[in-house]
Structure 1
Amino acid sequence: MLKKLLFIIVLISCTVQGQTYVKGTLNPAQNFSWVVLYQLKGAKQLYIKNVTIVNGEFSIDLPENTPKGMYRLMYSQQNGGFIDFIYNNENVTLKFNPENPFETVKFISSDENQLYHKYLIEFASKQQQLDSLQLAFFHLEDKKDRDKIDNLYEISYSAIRAFQTRFEKDSRGKLANNFIKSSNKYYNSTIIETPQEYLNSVKQHFFDFINFKDEELINSTFLSEKVTDYVFYLNGSEDAEVQFALYKNAVDEVMRKTQNVNLQNEILITLLNNFAQIENTVLIDFVIENFYNKLPEEVKNNKMVQEIQERVKLAVGKYAPEITWEEKGIIKKLLGLNTAENYILVFWSTGCSHCLVEIPKLYEFTKDKPTVSVLAFALENDDIEFKKLTLNFPKWTSILGLEKWQNTIARDYQIIATPTYFILDKDKKIIAKPNLFEDVKAFFEN
């Protein structure tokens, strides 16, 4: 009996020691009621567990054999409501202000996170100091002032290099070391004379310290975030053709840096999502045709790519989806019209008070414009009010869309509010998506 009891005690002891956890305190607690734990794996967030927040506190017991890596605590879907942390088989206890998580987080336990977070905060401060000196130098003309800034720059440069060396040494043997080494940033040892030379230097050396073969980085969002910074923040122009060339060259450069096909898949998905956010369908098509389609089938995420393409099917530059309706017994199609130089497609409803204000204004504005044709698609549950009100718009093509929000054409056009406007050219390509009637008016007047 005594042996049995000792065995149970030992077993419980081993189980307790093997169980790790993440505990957190939100201060102030506010009204956040849940937190979800994800593992960050490339461009994906893999769900692990969720728990409730009670009086601003939560505790998550991690499953056995939880792999090491980068994790995310999501407590709000909006406004950056998350905290990222390293897990490497140690308990993690943290405290933070949910309104400003990164700057306020304090890791009470976890050597990995204490070290890495201290590095990120202090390194950002030292970077800002060097960048400020470099920027100030560009605006100075007096030689004495320039020499003073030059000397300060050299002192700050030596400090940041010593700082980086110290943290790389202190983090040896830790998972944080992988991220610290690749977070390093190239700086010229002496101040750079012109802004263009500085920009060229930043772009040329951006990936100097980033190890694209590091499995720990591949299994996190680190590389995808660095690539996003490089493509979207270092390659900008107000000229559309120049912008396209900059983006194209940046994607080419990134793909040259990566040899791992799984990583290429993750990075390309990240880039496609970012191009979708700015509705750059030309770059989406370019990335898919020149890079994504050339990946091995076993690593592709075709479903996600299709979802991205679906999100931008109504972007400016895309052809409007087909609309078919019956008019006096004759079947007509949007893509078959050739009556105008421009078409205004407006989705509205007789039960929408805002529509009842804007639609008459739109009619008055367009009724005497021979080069503009209007298709007014009314989302209704029945045809009673539709028949009455459309008598006021005899020069328009009025189309009845029954089943309102569930109407197949409305769903195809992703209509979630009325009125919704699309302006098309003579080939039915979307050239503008105004928000209000005043925007429609401004488009044609300008």
Structure 2
Amino acid sequence: MFSRLLLLIFLISTSLQAQYTLTGKINSKGNFSWVLLYEIQNAKPVYVENANVKDGRFTFNFTKDQPAGIYRIYYQIEERLYVDFIYNKESVDFTFNPEDPAGSIVFSTSKENKIYQSYYNAISKEQKQLDSLQVAYFRSKDAKVLKELKKQYIKQLAEVNKTQKIFEKRSEGLLAHHFIVASARYNPKEPEKDPKAYLLGVKEHFFDHVDFNDKVLSNSTFINDKFLDFVFYLNQANDQDKTNLLQKKAIEDITTRISGNYPLLKAFEESALKQYVDDGNLRMVNYLLKDHYEILPLDYQDYAFKHKVETEIKTAVGSKAPNIEWVEKGDEKNLYDLFGNDYYIVVFFSSSCPHCQSEMPMLHDFIKGIKNIKVIAVGLEDERTGWEKMTADWKEYINILDLEKWDSFRAKAYGVTEIPSFFILDKNKVIIAKPDDVNELKRIFQSAE
């Protein structure tokens, strides 16, 4: 009797703790062994838990106190591949193809996600038809054709507005409602003949339907993504200097709109800085750092992030490589004492890293026999034995053992956060490429032949 009572208490407790479930299915023959669940907070993913994948399926249990909001499932963390969904105190069940997650995801349960997906599909179809009429209006010079296109455009615009209003009404009271309202796009009442005037109107009204004080929106990546689209897609020119000027004005526009909203400012500025670092646009990195990020209140400045950005600047393509020093047979050596080669490859690796164990032999096979390339291989290690075994055949390399591993001053100077990391230098020790892997490294040298 007592044991039955304990079992009953356990079952009641379990049912109270795990009220809702997230169930997903990856439609792929690929080998996925686990997925990671993150909650989006202030436009950044915060880890919740992980789950094993069996036959493409995975499950998470949500407790009653799990906050509602936007969540993210990473199925390939190294490649930053993920799917987002809304959680609002209901079970969620979906399937997706990892090759096209956004276009293939289908929700079988979850009122929130089903209505948002229905809205997205419907409004995209209607907007696409309207856009095609606008493009045709740009191109046509025939008065009769233009008259007919204008008539069709006005009729199609009414359909777009009707679809928007239907879903705004249908989603009232749901989290999805916030995103549906904010997703409404600006379209001129009549088609524009001048593309420049059209673009100016889009830019002027781009944020008309976005409430920057909406906690649901600002806690997700929605507003931040909107900011990045505004800067990087709507403000482009044929000349880099003109593009920089346009994007500075766009950044000023955004920071003025959300002045004092420091969580939003921080999220936007950090995202934009990452994009400029990836693009190798050092002028915009310096501008955004000095004129915006560094004047945020100190509590909103991430010094580890700032240091990483500053390090990325030092190792950007076109920059002189940070010096590397080592001791060889009792003599002090450094990178800038090396000469007589057309190219140098600096690679950071570890003998305990599975990815390095496959990539480094590929590099050695490719480099073997090439006389005008010198490899400086820095092993970030915990102990000597594995490193000695792995580097035993790399006689033509400069092999450096660094037992500080991730605390290595060499790794920090190059901004290394993952291994293997590759840097290709020219004969003057200027960084000319930062390939992601050996295959990309090989393509770079093969294209230069």
Normalising by structure 2, report the TM-score: 0.78
Look up the match of 1:221. Answer: 221
Pair 1:295-2:296 in alignment:
yes
CA distance in 1, matches of 2:403, 2:9: 62
| Equivalent residue number for residue 127 of structure 1 | 127
In the other structure, the counterpart of 2:140 is 140
Look up the match of 1:423: 426
Q: For the structure 1 residues 332 and 192, does the alpha-carbon distance in structure 2 shift closer, same or farther, using more than 3 Å as the test?
A: same
2:65 paired residue number: 65
Matched to 2:401, the amino acid is: E
State the SS of the aligned residue for 1:189.
coil
Equivalent position amino acid for 1:92 in 2? V
Amino acid at match of 1:295: L
- Where do residues 36-435 of structure 1 align in structure 2 (5 Å cutoff)? 36-77=36-77, 81-259=81-259, 260-323=261-324, 345=344, 347=346, 352-358=364-370, 360=371, 362=372, 376=374, 378-379=376-377, 400=398, 402-403=400-401, 411=411, 412-413=413-414, 421-423=424-426, 430=431
Decide which structure has the larger Cα Rg and report it: 1
The answer to whether the 8 Å contact 2:25/2:57 transfers is yes
Deviation at 1:321, TM superposition (A): 1.4
| Aligned residues of 1:424 and 1:432 also touching (Cα < 8 A) | no
| TM superposition score normalised by structure 1 | 0.78
Structure 1 residues 18 and 378 mapped into 2: Cα distance closer, same or farther (>3 Å)? closer
Aligned CA distance change for structure 1 residues 81 and 344 (closer, same or farther; 3 Å): closer
Query: Secondary structure of the residue that 1:217 maps to in structure 2?
Result: helix
TM-superposed CA distance for 1:17, in Å, is 8.8
Q: Deviations over 1:408-445 (max 9, x none)?
A: 797445697799532377xx7657779879978998x9
Contact 1:42-1:224 at 8 Å conserved across structures = no
- Structure 2: gaps of 5 or more residues: 348-359, 379-387
How many Å apart are 1:278 and its aligned residue?
Answer: 1.1
Residue number in structure 1 paired with 2:22 = 22
Structure 1 contact 36–75 (Cα < 8 Å) conserved:
yes
Partners of 2:54 and 2:420 lie apart in 1 by: 37
CA deviations over 1:195-243 (Å, ceiling 9, x no partner): 1111212211111111111111111111111111111111222312112
After superposition, the Cα gap between the structure-2 partners of 1:13 and 1:166, relative to the gap in structure 1 and judged at 3 Å, is: farther
Q: Which secondary structure does the structure 1 equivalent of 2:120 belong to?
A: helix
Distance 2:254 2:44 in 1: 19
C-alpha distance in structure 2 between counterparts of 1:142 and 1:164, whole Å: 32
Q: Distance in 2 between matches of 1:12 and 1:297?
A: 47
Q: 1:177 to 1:357 in 2, by over 3 A?
A: same
1:405 CA drift (Å): 11
Take 2:143 and 2:120, find their aligned partners in 1: how far apart are those partners? 35
1:376-399 CA-partner distances (Å, limit 9, x unpaired): 565497999999x7xxxxxxxxx9
Deviates more, 1:296-305 or 1:21-30: 21-30
How far has the Cα of 1:79 moved from its partner?
Answer: 6.4
Query: Given residue 354 of structure 1, which amino acid in structure 2 is its aligned partner?
Result: F
1:171-190 deviation per Cα after TM superposition (whole angstroms, max 9, x unaligned): 11111111111111100010
Q: Root-mean-square deviation (CA), in Å?
A: 4.3
Instruction: For residue 316 of structure 1, report the CA deviation from its aligned partner.
Output: 2.8
**Contact 2:326/2:400 (8 A) holds in 1:** no
Within the alignment, does 1:32 sit opposite 2:32 as a pair? yes
Quote the offset at 1:347 in angstroms: 4.8
In structure 1, distance between residues paired with 2:303 and 2:112: 36
- The letter of the residue matching 1:164 is Q
Structure-2 separation of matches of 1:431 and 1:253: 35
Question: CA–CA distance in 1 between the matches of 2:45 and 2:214?
Answer: 19
Secondary structure in 2 matching 1:173: coil
Structure 1 residue 152: Cα displacement: 1.1
Which secondary structure state, in structure 1, belongs to the residue aligned with residue 36 of structure 2?
A: strand
Following superposition, the deviation at residue 107 of structure 1 comes to 1.8
Aligned length: 414
Q: Contact between 2:16 and 2:63, CA under 8 Å: does it hold in 1?
A: no
